[in-house]
Amino acid sequence: MNETPLWASESFWKKTAIWVTAGSFLILVVLTFDSLSQTQAGGKRVPAYSVINKKIDYVYQKDLHKSMPVIGETELLFGKEYTEAEAEQLVMLGKKTTQAKNCMNCHTLLGNGAYYAPDLTKAYLDKGWVNKEMREDMMIKFLMDPEKNARTFGSNRKMPNLDITEQEAKGVVAFLKWMSSIDTNGFPYNFKTINAED
């Protein structure tokens, strides 16, 4: 018997390849629409930009076995209450600054990027900023002159001076505050924020 069995035939696998590819892609497109609508800024997973007016924390939830962002009372950034449009403007300036300064090729954002400097996902909530009274001032000074205000934690690695203006630095801080409020399914695990009791 010289006939090729179905499982080894070219035409069977050709059809399979086409159907599998088309089917997978279709499912991906449907899930993409769903994911994008669930992650609009202003939704449950990704808060509106004006969240920068609020207190943000990241707290371990025993029942869920993971930490979740907790949005609290008013806690103004730079002592100012931003409208949604103003907040978006400021976060946008910060986001564009992080791209133009190429932050991602040393740091990670949401865990993605390079591994030469710390993750920025919850950087706004980091204990390294000592306390909430000092935090904003320290962040601005650090961003504008990272050499003089170096935070090397015993390593010799220093962030270079990237000529970040004061307005850009404020934008970056706003962007980091907003990013820290995103529901990242519990990543990073076991993160203790600046608000946590020791």
Partner 1 sequence: MNAKELCEGSRANYANFITWVALDRSNLSAGRQLSVNYFIVAVILFFAQLLFGMIAATQFIFPNFLYDWLDFSVNRMVHINAMIVWMLYGFIGCVYWLLEEESGTDIVGLKLGKLAFWVLTGAVTIVVLVYLLIQTGAGKDSSLWLINEGREYIEAPRWADIGIVIVMLIFFYNVVATFSKGKWSGIAGVLTLDLVALAGLYVAGMFYMTNITHEQFWWWWVIHLWVEATWEVLVGVIMAWSLMKLLGVRRQIVTTWLYIEVALMFGSGILGLGHHYFWIGTPEYWLTIGGFFSALEPIPLVAMVVHAMYDAGSHSFKNSNHPAVAWIIAQAFGNFFGAGVWGFMHTLPQINMFTHGTQWSASHGHLAFFGAYATINIAFFYLAIQHWRGDVWMNSDTANAWRWKWALGLLNAGVVGMTVALLIAGYEQSFIERAVEGSTWGGYFSAQNHPSFQSAMVWRWFFGLMTFSGLILLIWDLLTIGKGETRKAQEIVEH
Of 132-151, binders to partner 1 (CB under 8 A) are 151
Instruction: Give the whole-angstrom CA distance, residue 107 versus residue 162.
Output: 14
Q: Quick check: 127 binds partner 1 (CB under 8 A)?
A: yes
Chain centroid to CA 140: 19
Nearer to partner 1, 26 or 76 (CB): 26
From candidates 30, 39, 134, 166, binder to partner 1 by CB under 8 A: 39
Buried b (16+ CB within 10 A) or exposed e, 172-195: bbbbbbbbbbbebebeeeebebbb
Query: Hey, what amino acid is at 75?
Result: E
Give yes or no for a contact between 164 and 98, defined as CB atoms under 8 angstroms apart: no
Q: Quick check: 5 binds partner 1 (CB under 8 A)?
A: no
From candidates 54, 122, 135, 177, binder to partner 1 by CB under 8 A: 122
**In whole angstroms, how close is the CB of 59 to partner 1 at the nearest point?**
12
Nearer to partner 1, 73 or 134 (CB): 134
From candidates 9, 61, 83, 131, binder to partner 1 by CB under 8 A: 9
Nearer to partner 1, 53 or 175 (CB): 175
Q: Quick check: 108 binds partner 1 (CB under 8 A)?
A: yes
- 44 Cβ neighbours under 8 A, 6+ residues apart: 38, 183
The DSSP H or E segment spanning 166 is: helix 166-179
**In whole angstroms, how close is the CB of 198 to partner 1 at the nearest point?**
13
Instruction: Give the whole-angstrom CA distance, residue 29 versus residue 1.
Output: 45
Q: Quick check: 57 binds partner 1 (CB under 8 A)?
A: no
